[in-house]
A and B are shown apart, each in its own frame.
Chain A
């Protein structure tokens, strides 16, 4: 109530203008999303009709049906959850451990190690794909979840991201525990991690989204179609001559992004509002 009253009182022309400007920017930004959603429900004839229209005249579920009949989509979505979810869980644990050492422990070679870790991001994945695949094949992990997840179970971005956050945590939060004689691992687990929940949530979302959307690794790694993810599976919708039926592809895309949007809406309050506030209080 009070918020509403306050915003009414503060309703200066500049605020109204700013709000309108944001509404326009947001609408433009969301236009491609709207195209994906709406085209998914357009019959083939309307997809290529001129003049084009935003809304379907004739809503149809045909595209979604085609996707679900042409792709083992439940299996693919399930694989995506296992892959992106597995990577996220492992990466959060391993990245936060490493980040703790890099941010809050003093040891020789800390800076060099940090630069070396970041340098692993600077080679394009395409360059290491073949040696990586050979290694995973040597380990006997081809077409297994282990093989899909293990190479991503720690990543330089996550380590660097959490390190920045741990650095920003005030130095005195672990003092009490230290005086009690707690070891580093206990301080990490009971003091630092609880304060880092928003950062972990944010990184978790980034990691999940990036792996869910990754194309090249699951595509190349899973020679067995049953092991693919929804993102790599969408490539199967391309026709024999390279034609991608737009309506069907958009329906597939909708299935692919829906879980992410739902997951995001679910955690977004904690995620953006609180991302960095803990630890400062």
Chain B
């Protein structure tokens, strides 16, 4: 971390500075300075996120319902999580959702960002703005609008597609199509967000590097592979991790559009958590399930960190 880095590539993230510049400063003092900067955020996160997380952890070993004194039940809730067939179904669905959503959202965002980074494209300012607009629509409103669009009776999309001879039927009531549909809504809503982050990452790459690559005779594809993508890996890791977390916690549009149906085919883990907690009032079970999800997310994220960490040491 503290070894000298070449400064000629200005796009490369530098090592933290405080330590090197003030090598004479005691570690205690450096720690105190850092803590002063971190304190407000850590107090907020500690009180309003970490503390409730720890409470939830405690509740996951009880039969808590929200009323009265919870009783300690040991690992019963966790055993329940691993033996309940509904949970297995939710795990499968969540995995499917994640596998569909993450690449689709990331690739479409990256592709559009690459294309719209081309200064020769007419109206690119307009396209950039327009493609971001879905992000400002809330999930519940987005879900509502899409449900109306694909409504089998009065939906415009169904009607138009029928004109082309395509019958998509009742998408949200179709056990094979409902999942792709709710994924599509999430991609629609969120890709603009990832798109903007990619655009920012692309603009971080100095044009001089492209010039150099071009002079070396690299074609467009080779420049993409050997210059753009490696230099974007930091951004890519960032987007991938947040896209994956969003996918693993899929809830909002599903709650509105299908309620987990048909036949539980869009029932995700967070839908299960919500149902156990807020419908069956089984907070203990909901908390245990949440911790299993947390553990899974952590493992998957660390895998990604390690994978990208090899390319970009400064990530974590």
Given A52-B154, A121-B245, residue A154 in contact with residue B41 (CB < 8 A) = yes
Given A98-B41, A123-B56, A154-B40, residue A49 in contact with residue B145 (CB < 8 A) = no
Interface of A, secondary structure class, is helix
Q: Kindly identify, within residues 131 to 149 of chain A, every residue whose CB is under 8 Å from any CB belonging to chain B.
A: 131-132, 134-136
Residue B249 lies at the interface, judged by CB distance under 8 Å to chain A: yes
Residue A108 lies at the interface, judged by CB distance under 8 Å to chain B: yes
Provide the residues of chain A in CB contact with B3, threshold 8 Å: none
Q: Mark each residue of chain B from 232 to 265: 1 if its CB lies under 8 Å from any CB of chain A, else 0.
A: 0011001001100100110110000000000000
Residue B149 lies at the interface, judged by CB distance under 8 Å to chain A: yes
Given A121-B245, A132-B52, A171-B15, residue A268 in contact with residue B45 (CB < 8 A) = no
Provide the residues of chain A in CB contact with B277, threshold 8 Å: 126-127, 130
Residues of B within 8 A of A (CB): 1-2, 5, 7, 10-11, 13-21, 27, 30-31, 33-38, 40-42, 44-45, 47-53, 55-56, 59, 66, 112, 115-116, 120-123, 125-142, 144-146, 148-149, 153-157, 159, 188, 193, 196, 199-201, 203-204, 206, 234-235, 238, 241-242, 245, 248-249, 251-252, 269-270, 273-274, 277-278, 283, 286-287, 289-291, 293-294, 297-298, 301, 314, 316
**Distance between B302 CB and nearest chain A CB, rounded to angstroms:** 8
Q: Please tell me if the beta carbons of A268 and B138 are within 8 angstroms of each other in the complex.
A: no
Measured in the bound complex, the distance between the Cα atoms of B188 and A36 in whole Å is 15
Q: Please tell me if the beta carbons of A105 and B18 are within 8 angstroms of each other in the complex.
A: yes
Q: Please tell me if the beta carbons of B1 and A106 are within 8 angstroms of each other in the complex.
A: yes
The number of residues on chain A lying at the interface, defined by a beta carbon within 8 Å of a beta carbon of chain B, is: 117
**Distance between A29 CB and nearest chain B CB, rounded to angstroms:** 6
Given A105-B37, A122-B301, A154-B40, residue A168 in contact with residue B136 (CB < 8 A) = no
Q: Please tell me if the beta carbons of A105 and B16 are within 8 angstroms of each other in the complex.
A: yes
Q: Please tell me if the beta carbons of B17 and A171 are within 8 angstroms of each other in the complex.
A: yes
Provide the residues of chain A in CB contact with B140, threshold 8 Å: 215, 231, 234-235
Q: Who on chain A is nearest to B30 by CB?
A: A107
Q: Who on chain A is nearest to B141 by CB?
A: A253
Q: Kindly identify, within residues 99 to 125 of chain A, every residue whose CB is under 8 Å from any CB belonging to chain B.
A: 100-108, 110-111, 113-115, 117-125
Measured in the bound complex, the distance between the Cα atoms of B238 and A268 in whole Å is 22
**Distance between A144 CB and nearest chain B CB, rounded to angstroms:** 14
Q: Please tell me if the beta carbons of A101 and B37 are within 8 angstroms of each other in the complex.
A: yes
Q: Please tell me if the beta carbons of A106 and B274 are within 8 angstroms of each other in the complex.
A: no
13 residue pairs bridging A and B, Cβ less than 8 Å apart: A22-B115, A32-B145, A53-B156, A103-B16, A104-B18, A107-B34, A127-B287, A160-B238, A185-B37, A231-B138, A253-B138, A253-B144, A261-B133
Provide the residues of chain A in CB contact with B141, threshold 8 Å: 36, 213, 234, 253, 256-257
Measured in the bound complex, the distance between the Cα atoms of B125 and A275 in whole Å is 14
Provide the residues of chain A in CB contact with B278, threshold 8 Å: 126
Please tell me which one of the listed residues A126, A154, A155, A244 contacts residue B251 in the complex, with CB atoms under 8 A apart.
A126
Q: Who on chain B is nearest to A102 by CB?
A: B38
Give me the 5 closest cross-chain CB pairs, A-B, nearest first.
Answer: A106-B19, A127-B290, A213-B138, A131-B55, A171-B14
New A-B pairs, 11, CB < 8 Å, besides A120-B49, A124-B251: A22-B123, A31-B149, A53-B156, A98-B38, A105-B17, A118-B301, A125-B249, A126-B251, A150-B44, A151-B48, A184-B18
Residue A61 lies at the interface, judged by CB distance under 8 Å to chain B: no
Q: Please tell me if the beta carbons of A280 and B204 are within 8 angstroms of each other in the complex.
A: yes
Provide the residues of chain A in CB contact with B31, threshold 8 Å: 107-108
Given A49-B154, A127-B56, A151-B48, residue A32 in contact with residue B135 (CB < 8 A) = no
Q: Please tell me if the beta carbons of B17 and A51 are within 8 angstroms of each other in the complex.
A: no
Provide the residues of chain A in CB contact with B314, threshold 8 Å: 167
Q: Please tell me if the beta carbons of A124 and B133 are within 8 angstroms of each other in the complex.
A: no
Measured in the bound complex, the distance between the Cα atoms of B48 and A277 in whole Å is 35
**Distance between A272 CB and nearest chain B CB, rounded to angstroms:** 5
Residue A10 lies at the interface, judged by CB distance under 8 Å to chain B: yes
Q: Please tell me if the beta carbons of B206 and A280 are within 8 angstroms of each other in the complex.
A: yes
Q: Mark each residue of chain A from 29 to 66: 1 if its CB lies under 8 Å from any CB of chain B, else 0.
A: 11111011001000000011111111000000000000
**Distance between A180 CB and nearest chain B CB, rounded to angstroms:** 13
Please tell me which one of the listed residues B20, B149, B270 contacts residue A106 in the complex, with CB atoms under 8 A apart.
B20
Q: Who on chain B is nearest to A275 by CB?
A: B200
Provide the residues of chain B in CB contact with A275, threshold 8 Å: 196, 199-200, 203
